[in-house]
Chains A and B, each alone.
Chain A
């Protein structure tokens, strides 16, 4: 009997030959804990690999997203510019359709969509002021489209033909169906994060091969509670 026990103990030590001190100092049952994240990883693996490889995967992953917050760097490239014109800011999204698109520099601007209504605020010497104008109407269309993207509904807009390219950098490409739209935008490329399920890495809006806007997201945080005031007030 004693020998058996010893034999068991000896076998157990061999199992943990790597981090020997664990086998020597910790109770045997503790050694199961490193297995839990591994098990979780195995369960999540199909999602991690495949979430951005099919429309179903995108929709499924997006269903788990309730909020997004991220920083972004926007680079505008034009043939007229020797180097891209760079802007920086922050982006917030909250289900069902609240959005805040905020620029910190070089021009301070906040675009808020809440309940379908879009407001734009600009900061000047006198403080924040609300702005109207034709460009705001155009931005309403853009913001509604972004809300669709955030919910994985890339193929919802009938004006665009959506295609999905799987690979190390999965990408959704939206091409306008109508010639009138094609004159303004040649295509929109949405690069998805392979590492962060449901997150977008970047957006590229191509007007023509020499004129495009690139937006790279960083510090992306998902599903954190966001204060309602972010979508109600400018400051």
Chain B
């Protein structure tokens, strides 16, 4: 019976190493200093340049593989980093309505969307997928597949990494204070000009889930509408 720990200890160490290798932050390959501005511009380009109204078909995949579809309406203002979003069924029944400014205000939440963790998680997803990362630039260079990459450290100690691949796809990763990978975002650009056609958000927390947002409508909002802190 005492034999078991002897076999399990190296196995456990190996497993931990493997997990660490998959999720931890690897150092970036340095690039010519002259490229810094271009790389930084590239890291900010996938995000919304101003206030927008977006309508998405939203598909949510839960850990068991069950899928649920909703229509998501999102008004985002990158200047204030505020937004309001409504999730409704295809038939038009509003399931969830939240507004985020300095605080999070829940206007409507039909079960099971009435858990505070859902609103907080969704707010994090929206900020990660639609707003350029805030915080301080801590590193830049070449990351995975040689893609130009930038890393920003947020005030909460978490790290956001942005990688811009040659095919136009952008990957965003959120790491915890212990460099554990918390969320992944993949932004696929539209074929023509305009906002991203597909935004996929994978959350590794508990419960884990994947959100796929397929763009249905987008509208840049004028300066007049952008005035004030409150999003209509």
Q: Which residues of A contact B (CB under 8 A)?
A: 74, 76, 78-82, 85, 87, 101, 103, 106-107, 109, 111, 122, 124, 129, 131-135, 138-139, 142, 184, 205, 207, 211, 213
Contacts and interface: CB of A to CB of B under 8 A. Distances in A.
Given A85-B71, A124-B59, A76 B66 contact: no
Contact of B66 (A81, A124, A133, A205): A133
User: Which of A78, A79, A80, A142 has the most C-beta atoms of chain B within 10 angstroms of its own C-beta?
Assistant: A80
Contacts of B91: 74, 101, 111, 139, 142, 213
B57 interface: yes
Interface string B96-126: 0000000000001011110000000000000
B93 A142 contact: yes
B232 interface: yes
Interface in B61-82: 66-71, 73, 75
Contacts of B90: 87, 103, 107, 109
Contact of B57 (A80, A106, A133, A184): A106
A138 B94 CA distance: 11
5 contacts: A80-B75, A81-B53, A134-B110, A184-B110, A213-B93
A121 to B, nearest CB: 10
Interface string B125-139: 000000000000000
Given A133-B68, A134-B111, A213 B73 contact: no
B205 interface: no
A142 B89 CA distance: 12
Given A80-B75, A85-B73, A134 B112 contact: yes
A135 B68 CA distance: 8
A205 B84 CA distance: 22
Interface in B190-232: 216-217, 219, 231-232
B216 A76 contact: no
B232 A131 contact: no
B182 interface: no
Contacts, number: 80
B192 to A, nearest CB: 18
B93 A135 contact: yes
Contacts of A79: 232
Interface residues on B, range: 20 to 34
Query: Which 4 A-B pairs rank lowest in CB-CB distance, beginning with the nearest?
Result: A213-B92, A133-B68, A76-B92, A109-B90
Given A74-B92, A85-B73, A107-B90, 7 more contacts: A80-B231, A106-B216, A134-B112, A134-B113, A142-B93, A205-B92, A211-B94
Nearest to B88: A76
A85 B217 contact: yes
Contacts of B70: 135
B95 interface: yes
B105 to A, nearest CB: 14
A131 B92 contact: no
Contacts of B66: 131-133
Nearest to B69: A122
Contact of B219 (A74, A82, A106, A133): A82
Contact of A131 (B53, B67, B75, B94): B67
Contacts of A138: 89, 93, 110
A107 B216 CA distance: 9
A135 B95 CA distance: 8
Nearest to B111: A134
A132 B68 contact: yes
Contacts of B43: none
Contacts of B59: 122, 124
Nearest to A215: B92
B171 interface: no
A98 B161 CA distance: 52
A43 to B, nearest CB: 40
B185 to A, nearest CB: 20
A111 B69 CA distance: 13
Nearest to B57: A107
A226 to B, nearest CB: 21
B93 A82 contact: no
Nearest to B95: A135
A118 to B, nearest CB: 12
Nearest to B73: A80
